Amino acid sequence: MQTHDRKMLVIIGEAALEKSLVRDARSFGAHGYTIADVRGGGERGDREARWEADRSIEMKMICDAAVAEKLAQHVLASYAPNYALTLFTADVGVFRPQKF
């Protein structure tokens, strides 16, 4: 069975961004998204998920390269200056190309 190339854009950041990120993902044309609760640490210190202000999420979207690129650009410009945030992309293969 053949797989089709897509991009997976992964955004790790403050839980406060969840609503906005979901809205953005939809408006930039991602067909879906998946979110997990995570904890972690980076430039902006440790985020241990002990209480509201300290929670982080990891959001992943599978989409075509163009959508991933535009969404990433928007997220970087809108949130990266002020929020704990990590972004990366990876190449993935999907089986149902029309779905993503």
Partner 1 sequence: MDPVVLFFLLGLIARIAKSDLRLPESLYDALAIYLLLAIGLKGGVQLAQQPLATVLPQALAAIALGACIPLLAFPILRLKLARADAASIAAHYGSVSVVTFAVATSFLAAQSVATESYMPLIVALMEAPGIVVGIVLARTGSAQRIAWGALAHEVLFGKSVLLLLGGLAIGALIGPEGMEPIAPLFTDLFKGVLALFLLEMGLVAGGQIGDLKRAGPFLTAFGVGAPLAFGLLGALVGHLLGLSVGGAAVLAALAASASYIAAPTAMRIAVPEANPALSIGVALGVTFPFNLFVGIPVYLHYARWFGGS
Ligand X SMILES: Nc1ncnc2c1ncn2[C@@H]1O[C@H](COP(=O)(O)O)[C@@H](O)[C@H]1O
Return residues touching ligand X (CB under 6 A). Answer: 12-13, 30-34, 40-44, 47, 56, 60-63, 84-86, 100
User: Which window, 22-30, 45-53, 61-69, 92-100, contacts partner 1 (CB under 8 A)?
Assistant: 45-53
Burial code (b: 16+ CB inside 10 Å, e: under 16) for 2-36 equals eeeebbbbbbbbbbbbbeebeebbeebebeebeee
Which residue type, as a one-letter code, is found at position 14? Answer: E
Work out whether 77 is an interface residue with partner 1 (CB under 8 A): no
Q: Which of 1, 43, 51, 77 touches partner 1 by CB under 8 A?
A: 51
**Residue 14 is inside which H or E element, if any?**
strand 4-14
Work out whether 16 is an interface residue with a copy of itself (CB under 8 A): no
